[in-house]
Amino acid sequence: MTEFLQQLVNGITWGSVYALIALGYTMVYGILRLINFAHGDVYMLGAFFGFYIARLTGAANDPNPLRAAGVLLLSMLGCGIVGFVIERFAYKPVRKSSRLAALITAIGVSLLLENGGMLLFGADPKFFPQIIPSANVPLGMGVSISNQQIIILAVSVALMLGLRFVVLKTRVGKAMRAVSYSHTAAALMGISVDRIITFTFVLGSMLAAAAGVLVALQNPKIEPYMGIMPGLKAFVAAVLGGIGNIPGAVLGGLVMGIAEVMVVGYLSPTWRDAIAFVLLIVILLVRPQGLLGQPPAEKV
């Protein structure tokens, strides 16, 4: 029982990271029907930005929550800019072309970021500094949680609530929902569709950056290819929850994280990556629209 609860705590923590990344996939898909394959690499950039910012600002040598928060925010800002640039210079020029063109562009951007990362950061893994002193907090019944896990959870939840607020309560959020329904109808409302698309990319990239920094708190080894697997799994999480559906991405992320941790704990660590694809196949067979997705509407 203790073991199970401990795994559950770990799984939820891990899942909240997947959820943060999955949100970016799902938002961009909702608005452009595009799978942004470079999204996992933006997560990688988030970790590296955090790494360099922590060094430059001295947060690496002076672990305290305020500086750590600064590292997180600056990295999010950096990736927000990267998201803006990717959208503006890679995706926007092919927006009126075929879906295939967009997909190939996405793969191209992904390769560019990975190999550009290699060039810039080097192939050797770097070690993310301890910007928060680590400690363990007992939860009772023999279950404990590290303060890094607490931070991961708290920051993820705060970001998701923030996103929920933006999407449901603000003007720009309403515009996002309008654009995801129909670009034509949104434009006829006076919404600048281009601007909403840009905003969506920036928002998604910032969430991915946060995920990158949060993960690096716990797994400090970072390298330019580190985004591939989590990116793929977060994408599966988005599909699992129903791609285009924001609560679905959160749910899918949690299911993915818990499943992965349980498989490692109770089956075998070699199954760690396979479980994502097992889940993908199962969901596509049983409920292709995803857990919270709507079945495709009949066009009248």
Cα 289 to Cα 37, 39, 54: the distances in Å are 20, 21, 41
Work out which of 193, 213, 239, 275 binds other proteins, going by CB under 8 A.
Answer: 193
Work out which of 98, 140, 184, 270 binds other proteins, going by CB under 8 A.
Answer: 184
From CA 28, how far away is CA 243, in angstroms rounded? 10
Identify which of residues 100 and 297 has a Cβ nearer to other proteins in the complex.
Answer: 297
DSSP 3-state helix, strand, coil percentages of the chain (rounded to 5)? 75, 5, 20
Query: Does 295 contact other proteins by CB under 8 A?
Result: no
Identify which of residues 193 and 256 has a Cβ nearer to other proteins in the complex.
Answer: 193
Query: Does 171 contact other proteins by CB under 8 A?
Result: yes
- Tell me if 36 sits within 8 A of 24, measured CB to CB: yes
Identify which of residues 211 and 292 has a Cβ nearer to other proteins in the complex.
Answer: 292
Strands 126-127 and 136-140 turn out to be unpaired
**What secondary structure does DSSP assign to 204-251, as a single string?**
HHHHHHHHHHHHHHHS-EE-TTTTHHHHHHHHHHHHHH-TT-HHHHHH
Interface with other proteins by CB under 8 A: which range of 133-141, 176-184, 270-278, 279-287? 176-184
Identify which of residues 171 and 286 has a Cβ nearer to other proteins in the complex.
Answer: 171
Query: Does 31 contact other proteins by CB under 8 A?
Result: no
Query: Does 188 contact other proteins by CB under 8 A?
Result: yes
Three-state SS for 294?
coil
Identify which of residues 99 and 195 has a Cβ nearer to other proteins in the complex.
Answer: 195
Binding site for other proteins (CB under 8 A): 171, 174-175, 177-178, 181-182, 184-193, 297
